[in-house]
Amino acid sequence: MKPLLKLWKKLPFSRAARVFILKILNDQFIIGVTGVIFNDKNQILVLKHTYRKVPWSLPGGYLKADEHPKVGLAREIEEETGFVVHIIRIIKTKAEKDGRLDISYFGEYKSGKFRPSAEVTNYRFVAVDKLPELIEDQYEQIAEAVERKKLYDRQQRWKFVTHKVPHFFRNLLPKKHDK
């Protein structure tokens, strides 16, 4: 193995060429993304799909080649619903035996008016305790997203407070007078 690594290091290939070779020589994965998307009332977006046995589920889809997972998830949601979302943080990743890699994120609904698509006929924002029947592993994703969003919200409030503190103290200091 070491001789191959030494040879690999000495070959005059660009990074792009090396990545191309690695893609040919290694297993290929289909990468799926799923989103737990919250509105301003902390309700979760669920979509009614046309092709699933369990009709309601979290939004998601598959990535295009060279697409970042956050970008791909936002694209999938906009294509299927017309909604613009902000993807915030990863929840978990899971490798499936069939060569699929699933990445789950949580995010926030920003704007948009629902537009039905060939894949999605309806949507709802629902409270965690009022979820419809979903694909089984999505309940775990939601539970993790709820916890991570609480932490994220606390961090955002702290950033806001620490940003405002210097201004608060500046107002307490005596004003400088021109001489």
Range of the domain at 146: 27-162
Any bridge partners for residue 49, and if so which? 120
pLDDT in tens, 31-73: 999 999 999 999 999 999 988 888 899 999 999 888 999 999 9
DSSP string of 18-36, one letter each residue: HHHHHHHHS---EEEEEEE
pTM for the full predicted model: 0.76
Which pLDDT score is estimated for 5?
58
- Look at residue 94 and tell me if it is in a domain: yes
pLDDT band at 96; cut points 50, 70, 90? confident
Structure tokens at 134: 């979903």
- Look at residue 156 and tell me if it is in a domain: yes
- Look at residue 62 and tell me if it is in a domain: yes
- Look at residue 169 and tell me if it is in a domain: no
Write the CATH number for 58: 3.90.79.10
Q: 79 to each of 63, 88, 103, 117, how far by Cα in Å? A: 13, 19, 19, 8
Domains identified in the chain, total number: 1
Which pLDDT score is estimated for 2?
60
- Look at residue 128 and tell me if it is in a domain: yes
Structure tokens at 153: 């919200």
pLDDT band at 169; cut points 50, 70, 90? low
Structure tokens at 117: 């698509």
- Look at residue 33 and tell me if it is in a domain: yes
Which pLDDT score is estimated for 111?
97
- Look at residue 171 and tell me if it is in a domain: no
- Look at residue 71 and tell me if it is in a domain: yes
Contact 58, 107 (CB under 8 A): no
Q: Is the pLDDT of residue 178 over 60?
A: no
pLDDT band at 168; cut points 50, 70, 90? low
pLDDT band at 174; cut points 50, 70, 90? low
Q: How far apart are CA 175 and CA 171, in angstroms?
A: 8
